[in-house]
Structure 1
Amino acid sequence: MTTYVRLAASQLEMAAEWLANINSQTTSHSGYCGTSKEEILESLHEDFVEGELTSLVAELEGETIVGLIGFDYEEDFAEVWGPFILSSNPKETLALWNFATNEFPQLQTFSFFIHKDNRTQQEFMDTLQATLRGKHLYYRLHQLTKTASHKLTFEIYSNQDVQEFVELHDTEFPDTYYDAKTILERSLQQGHTLYFAYFEKSFVGYSYFEEGTDSIHLEYFALNSGYRGQGLGEELLRVTLDQVTSAGKLASVTLTVDLLNNAANPLYEKVGFQVENELWHYRL
């Protein structure tokens, strides 16, 4: 018998194991969700628990998960995990989606990152009439060489130069999943680090990282346009990467960037990142 339920917090380990298995396959891969059970479980505890319930909705056959959607949301905007479903029947995916969205009627905008090989979810995006907003590369850092020059100084954000940061972030990322206010709030949480970069005491750029169980994700990185072409962007990236990995406890650093970002992508590859996946971004 098929049922649709909002999962309880006590069911997260079961959900994490199921997600790790299905997300390890490129044909069912969703970009927000990891492939390690431990990493997924930590993310679920951090971003999906609401008291005794979660923001995960599952399709069950008996007590076995056969489909799942997760909403990592703030106010009316959600980053979507999935929809993951074992069936290839689009009507079943739509039924799961409708049940999930009815459970969270306040959500109005949804963001999806779907692997280029995941035809099932791409076809479902067409069913929902979601808009393809861009194609992105998912990079993983394999080797980092420290920079020899030190033209910049760095500080962890602590309430200084906020307006300069807001202006730079809003200019470089005008339509993104975290606005400047959200980054400032999240950077105060453990495992979230926002670095400000200075050239001759002037704020010139920043990088923002979020830490998982065995990896760190570079969420944003930007340098003021007036300071480009001097090697400062490379120094900003290398130094802050060295800072966040200096404890030696993390297996890797990852990032997601526009496939056609011809300015940033060569820099990421120069400092040691390699392409792992191609993800397509949809917005509904």
Structure 2
Amino acid sequence: MAKINLMKKDDIQMVAEFISELNKMEHSHIGYCGKDRFEIAHSLNDDLTDIPYDKSFVTVYEKEELIGVLGFDADLMSDSAEIWGPFVKDNKWDIVNSMWEAMYELLPAEINSISMFPNSKNRKVSQLATNLSFSKHSDQTILTFSRNRKDELEEVPIVEIREEYFEEMIKLHEESFPGTYYNGQQIIERLNENNKVFIIANDNLSGYVYVEAEPAYGEASIEFFAVKESERGKGIGYQLLTVALTWLFAIGSIQSITLCVNSSNQNAINLYKKVGFQHIHDLSFFTKQIGIN
């Protein structure tokens, strides 16, 4: 008989391996979670800071065999949570409703929005989201650039932002990404040896790109980039992305850079592919409002 329990410390490595194996197959892939078992274990241990795994994840064992995992990554500042899973062995899908009920009871009262991010080929989780009255928010395209292709990048001068361009960069950021998770001033305040803004400018700022790196974990991301409307069509976006990749791959531990782009933004996708990014997944983003009277 299957037993549903809260995840324990002793489960970490087995759960990480379980998620890793299922996430390597598109029909069971979930976008929030990685494919490398060490990175997954690190995320479970260190990244679930608002609510730890032993209060946010459930496991299902049958005769001492792990057959299912489901949990959430809560962000209490935004009153939201990202759902990890469900990860279930193909022939054990009948346990998923019980798993969902057990996990749902763990959600704190202040959470009012939950989201799911299954691969478009993950039919079971997409159907589950529909059955649970989630709304499909968007389709997303996942692209990646691997380190072994860095020598294909063109040489472009790397120019870090200087204080004289702070005001212009903040203005361009607010125009391009209103209401996003970091405003322009917050980006400036986050600048350090691992978080950089690179620019293309003559007398005035033409565009910028903001990147973050965690060398200790081999992780990096291109968070934002924008080009002034009057400067578009001149190859500036291409140059900014090339600069970002060149700088990030100068960090020896970075093996790849992955981007998530709205599938309807074909211009951006074409630009990323022109730089050298490769299309790896299509995902569906589902959301649901809960706990709101």
Same fold (TM over 0.5): yes
Q: Are residues 163 and 12 of structure 1, via their aligned partners in 2, closer, same or farther at CA, if it must alter by over 3 Å?
A: farther
Change (3 A) 1:40 1:281: same
2:59–2:66: 8 Å Cα contact kept in structure 1? yes
Greater share of helix: 2
Comparing 78-87 and 116-125, the one that deviates more: 78-87
User: What secondary structure is seen at the aligned counterpart in 2 of 1:114?
Assistant: coil
Give the TM-score of the pair, scaled to structure 2.
0.79
Q: 1:74 to 1:231 in 2, by over 3 A?
A: same
- Mapped to 1, the partners of 2:82 and 2:53 lie a distance apart of 21
Q: Would the aligned equivalents of 2:145 and 2:258 in 1 still touch at CA under 8 Å?
A: yes
User: Match of 1:74?
Assistant: 75
Letter in 1 for 2:160: F
How many angstroms apart in 1 are the aligned matches of 2:276 and 2:124?
33
1:197 equivalent to 2:199? Answer: yes
1:115 aligned partner: 119
Q: Secondary structure at the match of 1:154?
A: coil
Structure 1 residue 28 displacement after superposition: 0.6
Query: What pairs with 1:182-261 in structure 2 (closer than 5 Å)?
Result: 184=186, 188=190, 193-197=195-199, 199-200=201-202, 202=204, 204-209=207-212, 211=214, 213-261=217-265
Deviations 1:110-132 (A, max 9, x none): 22221111110011011111111
Aligned residue runs from structure 1 range 142-221, under 5 A: 142=146, 143-144=149-150, 145-150=152-157, 153-155=159-161, 161=166, 164-165=169-170, 168-169=172-173, 171-173=175-177, 179-180=181-182, 184=186, 188=190, 193-197=195-199, 199-200=201-202, 202=204, 204-209=207-212, 211=214, 213-221=217-225
CA RMSD of aligned residues (A): 3.3
The alignment-based identity, stated in percent, is 25
* Structure 1 residue 87 displacement after superposition: 5.5
Q: Unaligned regions of 5+ residues in structure 2, if any?
A: 289-293
Question: How far apart are residue 91 of structure 1 and its match?
Answer: 6.0
Larger radius of gyration, structure 1 or 2? 2
Matched position secondary structure for 2:44: helix
- Paired position in structure 2 for 1:18: 18
Distance 2:89 2:210 in 1: 38
Name the CA distance, whole Å, in 2 between partners of 1:121 and 1:51.
24
Contact in 2 for aligned 1:210/1:219 (Cα 8 Å): no
Q: Aligned to 1:236, what secondary structure does the other structure show?
A: helix
Q: Tell me the amino acid that sits aligned with residue 30 of structure 1.
A: I
Unaligned runs of 5+ in 1: none
Q: What secondary structure sits across from 2:38 in the alignment? A: helix
Residue range with higher mean Cα deviation, 218-227 or 190-199: 190-199
TM-score (norm 1): 0.82
CA distance in 1, matches of 2:7, 2:35: 20
Q: Which residue of 1 aligns with 2:57?
A: 56
Distance 1:209 1:55, change over 3 A: farther
